[in-house]
Structure 1
Amino acid sequence: SPRLGYLRKVLRNHTAHTCDGEQLLIVCPRKTTISILGAFYGRRVPSPNLCPSPGNASQESTECTSATAHLKLLSECQDQQWCQFSVHSQVFGPDPCPGTHKYLITSYKCRPGNHRVKTVCENDKLRLQCRSKSVLAIYSANYGRFLRGKPECDALNAEGPHIECLAPDALRRVSKKCHRKGNCTVAADRATFGDPCLPGMKKQLRVSYTCVPKQLLEEVGPDTSDPFLLSDYMHG
């Protein structure tokens, strides 16, 4: 049925890779929005294998990572039906390795309009539950302090600096506990996610998810709970 085809499409992880000087373009189906799973900008593999350098690659670094890629993608693309921007080092702030031709790897899902979002404050427990014969599909998970959306736990931060900070592997940790399960509980605390923020900053865990028929996730295949099917690009 068309609905099943659509659901299969929105349950898959997608990966886009874009070389310096190219345009990143992400388009999701109608009535869905982009949910960024992860992003890497820099270079971890040699030029001949990915995005060959237009000039002399003898000086290139393969130990090069931008710290701002994930936040940049969230600000440009998150919750949009499509997004497009030019990829070059100025877009990501200070150049982590001048003279090296870099690339952007973006991992994302297309999230249907009927997804649910649940937020808990630091040191509380997040509980997700589906009805029988359906299981959780996790679209995104962020732990830290975010300036987008209503910051439910932010009254406590009124004094602090106006900055974002995110735990790098929140999605992987939440997916491991919850994806494909009938219900799950995740503690929004330092033991689970570490502390990505300045000392004393109050954090929150925000997860978007939906409940889908059990057999549907089985058909989609063993979708890894690690958003980075990117490890090939990132670790050489």
Structure 2
Amino acid sequence: MLVQKLSWVTLLLFLYQHGAEAKEKVVCEGESMCLKCDSGFIKVIKANYGRTDCKTCASGKPANQLSNKQCRAEASLSIMSARCDGRKSCTVPAVNSVFSDPCVGTYKYLDVSYECIPAKISVTCENGHSVIKCCKGVIHVHHANYGRRDLVTCPHALATTPDCYSPQTSSLRSKCDGKKSCRLCASNSVFTDPCVGVYKYLEVTYCCK
């Protein structure tokens, strides 16, 4: 019996570690970065839109566009996290209009490392209420966003943009982490309105620890 229990523990540890194995993707400026998790949800670990070497995305480019190896868009991680964390898949254009231009005249690329983490997801449409809970263990929030990151979730005539980001991870962790259950309210009065005139929803990915 002990051997059987140990075997199950070993299997669960393997599955967790396998699910959380870091993946890295690179796309050149002007292309789109596509992240995907067949199992679990995206958690961006590192991201940079810029250039840190002379070889990546260098084909056909003149030397003066490749020489700056200290080019970093400081908001790269927060932008990628806001757009992708807690989703099964996401697509982000590697362009200045998304990340701003950290080094004018340099040909850039987007370099991202991410994990696929095991988690549960809760979606609450605007002006709605819901409860997240753990039958075993306590809540740990991985990511939360109040806004709209696709046009399919919580369908509505005012679901007019998939680019409404208002990360609420810190506030939801303060409210819910360490509890067996936590009541959520998807409301502008709670989170303020990140995109006036757009019908929003609160999405939360969490696990039970």
Regarding TM over 0.5, the answer is yes
1:200 aligned to 2:203? no
Q: Secondary structure at the match of 2:184?
A: strand
The alignment of Structure 1 onto Structure 2 pairs a total of residues equal to 185
Matched with 1:145 is 148
- Which structure 2 residues correspond to residues 172-191 of structure 1 after superposition, within 5 A? 172-190=170-188
Unaligned runs of 5+ residues in structure 1 are 215-236
Aligned-pair CA distance for 1:3 = 1.1
User: 95, 102, 105: which is aligned to 1:99?
Assistant: 105
User: 161, 168, 172: which is aligned to 1:163?
Assistant: 161
Q: How well do the aligned residues superpose, as a CA RMSD in angstroms?
A: 4.6
1:35 aligned to 2:42? yes
Moved segments of 4+, more than 6 Å: 23-27
Q: Structure 1 residues 129 and 52, CA, compared in 2 at 3 Å: closer, same or farther?
A: same
Matched with 1:56 is 67
User: 11, 14, 18: which is aligned to 1:5?
Assistant: 14
1:113-153 CA-partner distances (Å, limit 9, x unpaired): xx54322122434421112x4122444433212325x422x
1:45-98 CA-partner distances (Å, limit 9, x unpaired): xx7xxx13563339x765665799539964xx9425xx9x9x9xx743648324
Q: Structure 1 residues 182 and 62, CA, compared in 2 at 3 Å: closer, same or farther?
A: same
Question: 1:35, 1:140 within 8 Å by CA — same for their partners in 2?
Answer: no
Amino acid at match of 2:110: L
Aligned-pair CA distance for 1:205 = 0.5
- Which structure 2 residues correspond to residues 55-134 of structure 1 after superposition, within 5 A? 55-57=66-68, 70=80, 74=84, 78-79=87-88, 91-92=94-95, 94=97, 96-97=100-101, 98-102=104-108, 104=110, 106=112, 108-112=114-118, 115-131=119-135, 133-134=136-137
Unaligned runs of 5+ residues in structure 2 are 1-9, 56-65
Matched with 1:233 is none
Matched with 1:136 is 139
Percent sequence identity is 23
TM-score between the two structures when normalised by the length of structure 1: 0.54
TM-score between the two structures when normalised by the length of structure 2: 0.59
Q: Secondary structure at the match of 1:56?
A: coil
Q: Structure 1 residues 172 and 38, CA, compared in 2 at 3 Å: closer, same or farther?
A: farther
Aligned-pair CA distance for 1:33 = 3.9
Structure with greater Cα Rg: 2
* Distance in 1 (alpha carbons) for counterparts of 2:190 and 2:45: 19
